[in-house]
Structure 1
Amino acid sequence: MDIRDNHWLTDARHCRSPHQDARPAGEISAVVLHSISLPPGRFGSDDITDLFMGRLDSRRDPFFNQIAHLRVSAHCLIRRDGYIIQYVGFNQRAWHAGVSCWQGRQRLNDFTVGVELEGDARSFTRHQYVSLVRLAHALMGRYPVITPDRFIGHQHIAPLRKTDPGPSFDWQYFKQLLLANPGPV
Structure 2
Amino acid sequence: MKTTATPRCPTLLQRPSGHYDERPAGVAISLLVIHNISLPAGHFAPVPQQGSYVDALFCGRLDCNAHASFSSLQGVTVAAHCVIWRDGSIFQYVPFSQRAWHAGKSEFAGRANCNDFSIGIELEGCDNLPYTEQQYQSLVALSHYLMTCYQDISPQRIVGHCDIAPGRKTDPGPAFDWLAYRIALKESRE
**TM-score greater than 0.5 by the shorter chain:** yes
Alpha-carbon shift at residue 68 of structure 1 (Å): 3.2
- SS for the counterpart of 1:178 is helix
Q: Which residue of 2 aligns with 1:128?
A: 135
Alpha-carbon shift at residue 165 of structure 1 (Å): 0.4
Report the aligned-residue RMSD.
1.3
Query: Of 66, 81, 84, which residue of structure 2 is paired with 1:78?
Result: 84
Q: Which residue of 2 aligns with 1:99?
A: 105
Q: Which runs of 4+ in 1 moved over 3 A?
A: none
- SS for the counterpart of 1:63 is helix
Contiguous gaps of at least 5 residues in structure 1: 4-9
What is the CA–CA distance in structure 1 between the aligned matches of 2:84 and 2:39, rounded to whole Å? 14
- SS for the counterpart of 1:175 is helix
Listed as ranges, the matches of 1:24-43 within 5 Å are 24-25=24-25, 26-43=27-44
Query: Of 46, 54, 58, which residue of structure 1 is paired with 2:52?
Result: 46
Q: Which residue of 1 aligns with 2:13?
A: 13
- SS for the counterpart of 2:68 is coil
Alpha-carbon shift at residue 169 of structure 1 (Å): 0.4
**Conserved 8 A contact 2:28-2:152:** no
What is the CA–CA distance in structure 2 between the aligned matches of 1:75 and 1:171, rounded to whole Å? 20
Cα deviations by residue, 1:88-122 (Å, 9 ceiling, x for unpaired): 00000000111111100000000000000000021
- SS for the counterpart of 1:32 is strand
- Counterpart of 1:113 in structure 2: which amino acid? I
Alpha-carbon shift at residue 85 of structure 1 (Å): 0.2
- Counterpart of 2:58 in structure 1: which amino acid? F
What is the CA–CA distance in structure 2 between the aligned matches of 1:68 and 1:50, rounded to whole Å? 12
- Counterpart of 2:85 in structure 1: which amino acid? R
**Conserved 8 A contact 1:54-1:68:** no
Determine what percentage of the aligned residue pairs are the same residue: 47
What is the CA–CA distance in structure 1 between the aligned matches of 2:67 and 2:8, rounded to whole Å? 37
Cα deviations by residue, 1:126-177 (Å, 9 ceiling, x for unpaired): 1000000000111011111111111100000111100000011010010010
- Counterpart of 1:182 in structure 2: which amino acid? R
Query: Of 156, 161, 169, which residue of structure 2 is paired with 1:154?
Result: 161
- Counterpart of 2:37 in structure 1: which amino acid? I
- Counterpart of 1:13 in structure 2: which amino acid? L
What is the CA–CA distance in structure 2 between the aligned matches of 1:42 and 1:29, rounded to whole Å? 32
Q: Which residue of 2 aligns with 1:141?
A: 148
Alpha-carbon shift at residue 11 of structure 1 (Å): 1.1
Cα deviations by residue, 1:63-86 (Å, 9 ceiling, x for unpaired): 111113201010000000100000
Cα distance change on mapping 1:53 and 1:132 into 2, 3 Å: same
Contiguous gaps of at least 5 residues in structure 2: 1-6, 46-50
- SS for the counterpart of 1:31 is strand
